[in-house]
Structure 1
Amino acid sequence: MTKKKTYDNDSISSLKGADRVRKRPGVIFGSDGLEGCEHAMFEILSNAIDEARAGYGRLITVTRFADLSIQVEDQGRGCPVDWNEKEGRYNWELVFCELYAGGKYDNENSDNYEYSLGLNGLGSCATQYASRYMDVTVCRDGKEYRLHFERGEIAGEMRVTELKRRHTGSTIRWLPDLEVFTDIDIPAEYYREVLRRQAVVNAGVTFRLRCEVAPGKFETEDFLYEHGIRDYLAELAGEDPLTEPVCWETERRGRDRVDKPEYKVKLNIAWCFSNRVHLIEHYHNSSFLEYGGSPDKATRLAFVYAIDKYLKENNKYTKGESKITFPDVQDCLVLVSSNFSTQTSYENQTKKAITNKFVQDAMSEFLREQLQVYFIENREAAERIANQVLVNKRSRETAERTRLNTRKKLTEKIDIANRVQKFVDCRTKDVSRREIYIVEGDSALGACKQSRDAEFQGLMPVRGKILNCLKADYPRIFKSDVITDLMKVLGCGVEVQGKAAKELNQFDLNNLRWSKVVICTDGDVDGFQIRTLILTMLYRLCPTLIKEGYVYIAETPLFEITCKEKTWFAYSEKEKAEVVRQLEGKKYKVDRSKGLGENDPEMMWLTTMNPETRRLVKVLPDDAEETARVFDLLLGDNLSGRKDYIAENGCRYLDMIDVG
């Protein structure tokens, strides 16, 4: 018997030191998988970016080593690592071994980082805690400081040497720990994407990627946008945008709530319209906002408001027409925003969305004001924007109506199919597996129903000889319940123009509900005629089914040959003769095979329906014109031609005549 665990005062414990990250990496990095490992890398990169943004250094180098270790090197002031009188500890302890410690908390009253990407004081310490090892080299105050950490703990002591050449900067190399992350193999493409994005929003800063391809051999790639998002937008828009790129900047001050402190926001927005490309990207304090948040909401509100206002004032809407929505604008808008604020509320530590209300309000108000002025001063561009947005809107509404109508028709069609008299559906909804057997009469339906695999084989009986679709006109064809029911069950509609087929949809192969359409009739003259009439119907109403290879004929045996306890099935006179030859000298019995309705289920499954043993002949009209000509000759109105053909070729089929 399992002893029950107690839950008392001694049950409560807390994680300390490196265990706060190593045992719960998902809390800090959003994941304990590759995505979390990537975010840890970005935390270190963020510190280098903050230095460059503060005006210290114009080159940041990221190295991806073959052993999956990572190095970030900047030309900043160098991270403070010496003694901190105020805290009574070394700064390296605070930066690399203490969560929520750093130099970016009092941004409003500090000249260090006015607009900082790394605000939470987690990055350096959390990444160090999550590393197999981390080597830190800091150059500042004419000295070089070296630190070595292993699995969250300092190994040895800080080493200090005098610099021969006076320069500053930080170099951090670490190996993510597989005891913390399930995967540490960050692909080179991730580095390229991150550094390219950072080059976009950090104008004039070069981001260099070095990938080790062989021991000591590196491939180098630089990312630089001298004018930031202005150059990036021009690159995205190409040579033929609908409107010329525009870049707007401003600074605002405000609060997220009346009782909250005031902070600064710097807005930088570049945009244009294009009928070739559309893209919207938002960045905040250099971080790419994959999920947007406040700036995305501001963009949606402002552009819809300003364009809708222009459309109304210039009578662009038709009477009773609904107003535009953001997807109509988005389909032709290319916009990149790179904003900064002295206080930022991220949704979480992964920084993929921000929630600042003032950022949203300030950006929305600024865009509205600027767009209204732009529409007045750029009349031709405003007309192009308005017309394109309306085209997008009306196209969307037409497509939506079409989608709803199609869905309605499909739903109705399936409902009708389920109500078609004597139609037997199969269970699976996987069209690639579904087969429909068109069988001859109710008795054959009963036999096939007992022998089929109900998972993927459906049945549709035809009652007697159906209408000759080559001799009948369309109104008469579509008055036939047998034909219309069969076409409804197939689901693909008919290739007939006009109103004759008003109860059936226009042909669409994508709506076919079956992977195989199998014609299954008796192997006698009547069965052959019914098979021909069904083929004729398909050929006239939906020939694409035959051309695309969806139509099959199930061969049924003509003879049963029994010898002792063994039975052979022969599908032709030739096959019967071969079996009889093998049984020469033995006592055997040859019976004409019964009709489908008289066969027992085991035989039906074995000879006609089992995919492993049945014989299916795919109907492939290699020459459609020849097929049409023969169908027309034998079943059409050309009586003299048919008479001549029978007189010339009838002798070849005398043995098949069913005469009493």
Structure 2
Amino acid sequence: MAKSKREYGNESISMLEGADRVRKRPGVIFGSDGLEGCEHAVFEILSNAIDEAREGYGKEIILTRFRDGRIQVEDFGRGCPVDWNEKVGKYNWELVFCELYAGGKYDNAAGDNYEYSLGLNGLGACATQYASRFMDVVVRRDGKRYDLHFEKGSLVGEMKVSPADRKKTGTTITWLPDLEVFTQTDIPTDYFTDILHRQAVVNAGVVFRFRNQGERGFEETLFTYENGIADYVAELAGQAPHTPIQFWTGERTGRDRPDKPDYKVKLSCAFCFCPAHHIIEHYHNSSWLEHGGAPEKAMRSAFLSAMDGWLKQNNKYNKNEAKITWPDVQETLIFVSNNFSTQTSYENQTKKAVNNRFIQEGMTEFLREKLQIFLLENPQAVEEAARQILVSKRSREAGEKARLSIKSKSLAGSVDIANRVQKFVDCRTKEVARRELYIVEGDSALGSVKLGRDAEFQGIMPVRGKILNCLKADYGKIFKSEIITDLLKVMGCGVEVNDKHNKDLSLFNLANLRWNKIVICTDADVDGYQIRTLILTMLWRLTPTLIQEGYVYIAESPLYEINAGGKTWFAYSEKEKAEILTQLDGKKPVIQRSKGLGENDPEMMWMTTMNPDTRRLIRVMPAEAEATAQVFDLLLGENAQGRKEHIAENGYKYLDLADIS
């Protein structure tokens, strides 16, 4: 007799306690249970040392990698408090090394401990201790030396206290990452040198020493930049920048939402226009923002607007010439930002992007003000930079024209699809798992989406007008439609139709699909809904597997834009509009029906429709393919009488969606 499943009841719920919260789920804290997570644990310990040095306590940090896999971080700061904490009723070493969400950076409204801190979450030292086979901590402060030894999350023995030189202070942490927690612990040398180099860039004057133990002893490498990012940009530019190295600093105070408290942002950036190199890096509270976020959007908006405005004002565009795009500016730009804030919203514990609304707004305003002055005070240098931007733009356009002239290659050929389909805009990455195709209606939407997208992984295909109803049209008409065949070429997977009228498209092969997501993006009005339905119908008839396998999505567009008190909200339904209005606390709102996609500015397009963190995508995933086919056939096929009966029986359910005035 088969064993029955255990009943799911009150006794089924359990919780992890102590070290198990990290040891059994390291990916929650470190972002991964693999090598990347193990590397991030190093960064967590290093962050605490950096916070001390940036506050002026010790100007050198030593990171050592031993041959047996041990890692050591030594700083010369004030020394981590480890003695009895009367307020909490525990030893501070317990709070720092054995309690998640505890530390010296929470009760910090007046900036008593750290005004700007990289380690804000109270997780790093404790989580790393929990994830180690063992950890040794040596603290020197107040004329005493404190020694702690942990094994797999627990203190072994007691804290040892002995006299020490009062002049020598700091914290030394040595640990061995545990293979029972991480799948890999052999961190390569490149990780250590890269992270220390980046920290030297954004912590001006701090000396980072890397000691790597090899067969012949320790090899040492020093990293330091006396003037921080300004020296770094000068190093990258070499001898031939178009413009002098600019270093700007400033502060802004504001809030992310009307009901949130104000916080302070310290902004700094260094940049130059350079013909030989282009590199862009963003840092926040010393953490490298690999995925950018708010600072990246602010920089793009400010630089693109400033350079386009300068080119127009100085009549540098040819007659009827298209405007520059961000890649044209990026091609000649070296830009490094190094910002700090008293409150920071990272995308997760690994700190690879920040998404604070005020940080983006404050940095955009800051850069626009500084760029306005820069353009006025450096006319000759700006002239040369602008010339190079136009060279990049016109070279790109010439290349696009050359590609569009190639029509004879087959779909399976090696020529990029952008060479063959007019107005298709490809993305840069070739990794199919990251690529997203946005299908938009018309040229105006194409322009808006193109400026608002992330060109790294988002491509665009415009459709001109309403395409054929593929449930009514025969295959002869369908395969004569350039709109349909161009879209199918861009998708790359061919069609699930073996018909004599199909002369240009291969038979369907899912492995040839060039995209991980196919996103239908139309206006939130009757025409937009109809175009969306026609595209879905075409996909269902010609490539139904894409829908069945979940590759097709719909991008929701907001119905309303609500402005009040200098802030903007977007409502995607009547219900959301009502909820937003109830939260405005007496402020008089201005409500307007959301514009068409072609009228949206790039920032709004990115925030509402393109940004993976804030957009709303609906996956088109039929529960039953046959039922979906029947609905498509009923609504768009030849059965007019059946359609009338369906509307008579069910139309009342959708009256609130009808655009009736």
TM-score range, shorter chain: 0.5 to 0.7
- Say whether the 8 Å CA contact 1:269–1:337 is kept in structure 2: yes
2:111 is aligned with 1:110: yes
- 1:558-569 map, 5 Å: none
- Say whether the 8 Å CA contact 1:107–1:342 is kept in structure 2: no
SS at match of 1:80: coil
2:281 aligned partner: 281
Measured after TM superposition, the shift of residue 293 of structure 1 is 0.6
2:351 aligned partner: 351
2:472 aligned partner: none
- 1:315-354 map, 5 Å: 315-354=315-354
1:409 aligned partner: 408
- 1:128-143 map, 5 Å: 128-143=129-144
2:71 is aligned with 1:70: yes
TM-score (norm 1): 0.61
Measured after TM superposition, the shift of residue 317 of structure 1 is 1.4
SS at match of 2:251: strand
- Say whether the 8 Å CA contact 2:141–2:166 is kept in structure 1: no
Q: 1:411, 1:221 → 2: CA distance?
A: 54
> What number of residue pairs does the alignment pair up?
412
2:207 aligned partner: 206
1:158 aligned partner: 159
SS at match of 2:77: coil
SS at match of 1:92: helix
| Counterpart residue type for residue 25 of structure 2 | R
| Counterpart residue type for residue 99 of structure 1 | L
Measured after TM superposition, the shift of residue 413 of structure 1 is 10
- Say whether the 8 Å CA contact 2:143–2:167 is kept in structure 1: yes
Q: 1:221, 1:342 → 2: CA distance?
A: 32
Q: Deviations over 1:295-320 (max 9, x none)?
A: 01100000001001111111111222
- Say whether the 8 Å CA contact 2:225–2:231 is kept in structure 1: yes
Q: 2:72, 2:318 → 1: CA distance?
A: 60
2:58 aligned partner: 57
Measured after TM superposition, the shift of residue 356 of structure 1 is 1.0
2:231 aligned partner: 231
1:488 aligned partner: none
- Say whether the 8 Å CA contact 1:204–1:225 is kept in structure 2: yes
2:290 is aligned with 1:290: yes
1:15 aligned partner: 16
Q: Deviations over 1:469-517 (max 9, x none)?
A: xxxxxxxxxxxxxxxxxxxxxxxxxxxxxxxxxxxxxxxxxxxxxxxxx
TM-score (norm 2): 0.61
Q: Deviations over 1:525-562 (max 9, x none)?
A: xxxxxxxxxxxxxxxxxxxxxxxxxxxxxxxxxxxxxx
Q: 1:409, 1:259 → 2: CA distance?
A: 60
- 1:298-313 map, 5 Å: 298-313=298-313
- 1:485-634 map, 5 Å: none
SS at match of 2:79: coil
- 1:72-471 map, 5 Å: 72-164=73-165, 166-214=167-215, 217-406=217-406, 408-411=407-410
Measured after TM superposition, the shift of residue 405 of structure 1 is 3.0
Q: Deviations over 1:338-374 (max 9, x none)?
A: 0111111100000011011111111111111111111
Q: 1:131, 1:309 → 2: CA distance?
A: 55
Measured after TM superposition, the shift of residue 165 of structure 1 is 5.1
Q: 1:405, 1:96 → 2: CA distance?
A: 64
Q: Deviations over 1:108-165 (max 9, x none)?
A: 3232100100000000000000000000000001100000000001111000001145
| Counterpart residue type for residue 270 of structure 1 | A
- Say whether the 8 Å CA contact 2:240–2:275 is kept in structure 1: no
1:3 aligned partner: 4
- Say whether the 8 Å CA contact 2:118–2:287 is kept in structure 1: yes
- Say whether the 8 Å CA contact 1:347–1:355 is kept in structure 2: yes
Q: Deviations over 1:251-309 (max 9, x none)?
A: 11111111111111111100001111000000000111111111011000000010011
Change (3 A) 1:413 1:263: closer
Measured after TM superposition, the shift of residue 181 of structure 1 is 0.3
Q: 1:411, 1:249 → 2: CA distance?
A: 54
- Say whether the 8 Å CA contact 2:229–2:336 is kept in structure 1: yes
Tell me the C-alpha RMSD between the 2 structures. 1.2
Q: 2:98, 2:12 → 1: CA distance?
A: 27
| Counterpart residue type for residue 21 of structure 1 | V
- Say whether the 8 Å CA contact 2:142–2:166 is kept in structure 1: no
| Counterpart residue type for residue 46 of structure 1 | S
- Say whether the 8 Å CA contact 1:280–1:334 is kept in structure 2: yes
Q: 1:278, 1:272 → 2: CA distance?
A: 9
Structure 2 runs not aligned, ≥5 long:
414-661
| Counterpart residue type for residue 238 of structure 1 | G
- Say whether the 8 Å CA contact 1:80–1:92 is kept in structure 2: yes
1:646 aligned partner: none
- Say whether the 8 Å CA contact 2:285–2:338 is kept in structure 1: yes
Structure 1 runs not aligned, ≥5 long:
415-660
Measured after TM superposition, the shift of residue 377 of structure 1 is 1.3
Measured after TM superposition, the shift of residue 412 of structure 1 is 7.8
Q: 1:358, 1:412 → 2: CA distance?
A: 46
- Say whether the 8 Å CA contact 2:144–2:166 is kept in structure 1: no
